[in-house]
Structure 1
Amino acid sequence: MLNLLPKGKLKIIIAPLNWGLGHASRCLAITEKLLENGHEIIFASDGDALELLSKNHPDKDFYELPGYGLKYRNSNELFSLLDNLPGILKAVIQEKGHAEKLSAKLKPDVIISDSRFGFRSKSCLSVIVSHQLNLQTKYSFTRWAGNIANKFWIRKFDQCWVPDFDDSPLSGKLSHGHPFNHVHYIGPLSNFKRKEYSKNIIDLLISLSGPEPARSIFEERLIHYFRHFEGRVVLVRGSSRKTKTNMPQHWEVFDLIDRKEMNKIVCQAKEIISRSGYSSIMDFFTVGKSAQIVPTQGQAEQEYLARTLNGKYGFSCKLESDFK
């Protein structure tokens, strides 16, 4: 990854999409490598993603970008696409203006944008980070339309970094079979470490993330299902929003948590339930932890990953309806 950048000490803006915490989490892995090599890092994002970045690097400069306003109110991927499309297009246009203004003000050498398709500038090297180069959706129309848009936006960047293996992809067809010639496979991104923590002292870890209201609905379902679970339960909500749900008194509950503590909790967990977001999958894969992965209904990427990884690397696919 570092060999893809210009030589010398660089000023770099890192801008992850605020869609769950996955994009911010894997950008923290990139940040760690860049800081080790003496580069200056500036963050730009919004919402919980920006809060997670600031929680892990409070000494850095931060800039707020317009949010995409993504919502998952419908389990049908076509309706979800139509519901979110206007907000996505508006945000892409707005963030392009923000990128140019920040570039003029800060004069960065590099912009690294994780899935923010408009956050790029002509005045510096602009990199897009994405593992979704070949969208895998249920309907041929959404797959066709999505890949046309994907191709249009990704080609506007100077480089595309794919957090996956070139020869044996963790993300399946998502990161392969694409039409791009500026793609670089940089391997799975996670700053988790295999450390000698006390193992299996947490009986159940529930790790949540993702857009609302789907995140909150799943949270309530799991609280109801495991309310009387005997054993030590840790819930990482993945949101700074307050909940009205009464939590079981014996549970340990965190809203947002820094990556070092999350690394420790994952390694100590006997059983893990998580969304099938790719960044979570990379974290579990990196430390060799098995997990039950549950896709967000209507989110084609998560549904594809859950199907593809079911029975591999210790992952098992579950549906929300399995937790009644």
Structure 2
Amino acid sequence: MRFYISFVGIGYGHASRCINIARKLIKMGHEVFLSSYGDGLGYVARESPDIPLVIGGEKVAWKMREDGSPDIKGTLARLPLYALRFFGHVKGELENIEAVSPDVVISDSRISTIIAARSLGFPLSVIVNQPRILLDSPLLQKGTTKLMGTAWNLSNSIIMADLPPPYTISRAHVEDLPKSLYDRLEFVGPIVRR
């Protein structure tokens, strides 16, 4: 089988777990292509130069405060730029997925890949470890949870890279999720190299 694995390029967490998945699939005899942007690209190039990598767009990230929490005002100020970049990601993912023509698309928290795979009709699994972002504003919290939940629910399956309750590490990120989303989470534990 041929797999197209696309992941958020912010930091190395998404990249490292997707490389672990890719290596396991390759070991099982499957063909794998990776897609990312930002930090993820450099990480894959260094750690797995043997795995085909397709570039998935310019960096898009929440603006962060010094304490590591999301800066809503700073993010909203960048919204026009982020919107353009996001549409560029969707376009790039459409082109990449069409060119690779995989049997399965795996998106690690990357909404542009979800949109592209669904619009092209490819089977899709989504990996998440935080199905919602925690925000100070109840209104923004409700809106982003709904938006992200809608995106995750476009997939054929939702893989939760965390322990099942009551041992869930990111417990606050799964509490108060809509039942339609929570019931679809398949808790698989952390995805690490053995």
In structure 1, the partner of 2:89 is 95
| 2:162 pairs with 1:157 | no
In structure 1, the partner of 2:106 is 112
In structure 2, the partner of 1:47 is 38
Which string of whole-angstrom CA distances, capped at 9 and with x for unpartnered residues, describes residues 44-79 of structure 1? Answer: 112321121122221222111112432636456322
Distance 1:90 1:157, change over 3 A: farther
In structure 2, the partner of 1:313 is none
State the superposition RMSD in angstroms: 2.2
Q: Which moved more, 1:70-79 or 1:145-154?
A: 70-79
The structure whose residues are more often helix, as a share, is 2
Q: Distance in 1 between matches of 2:78 and 2:130?
A: 18
Q: Distance in 1 between matches of 2:14 and 2:73?
A: 24
| 2:132 pairs with 1:130 | no
Q: Which moved more, 1:85-94 or 1:17-26?
A: 85-94
Which string of whole-angstrom CA distances, capped at 9 and with x for unpartnered residues, describes residues 24-53 of structure 1? Answer: 112122223222322211111123211211
Q: Which moved more, 1:78-87 or 1:108-117?
A: 78-87
In structure 2, the partner of 1:184 is 186
Q: Distance in 2 between matches of 1:35 and 1:176?
A: 35
3-state SS in 1 of match to 2:90? helix
Deviation at 1:188, TM superposition (A): 1.1
Which string of whole-angstrom CA distances, capped at 9 and with x for unpartnered residues, describes residues 241-300 of structure 1? Answer: xxxxxxxxxxxxxxxxxxxxxxxxxxxxxxxxxxxxxxxxxxxxxxxxxxxxxxxxxxxx
**CA contact 2:19–2:48 (8 Å) conserved in 1:** no
Q: Distance in 2 between matches of 1:86 and 1:184?
A: 35
| Residue type at the aligned position of 2:45 | S
Distance 1:73 1:165, change over 3 A: closer
Distance 1:154 1:91, change over 3 A: farther
In structure 2, the partner of 1:196 is none
Q: Which has the larger radius of gyration?
A: 1
In structure 2, the partner of 1:35 is 26
Q: Distance in 1 between matches of 2:107 and 2:31?
A: 16
Unaligned 5+ residue runs, structure 2? none
Q: Distance in 1 between matches of 2:99 and 2:52?
A: 13
In structure 1, the partner of 2:55 is 64
Q: TM-score, normalised by structure 2?
A: 0.82
Q: Distance in 2 between matches of 1:125 and 1:99?
A: 14
**CA contact 2:56–2:92 (8 Å) conserved in 1:** yes
3-state SS in 1 of match to 2:158? strand
| Residue type at the aligned position of 2:163 | F
| Residue type at the aligned position of 1:158 | N
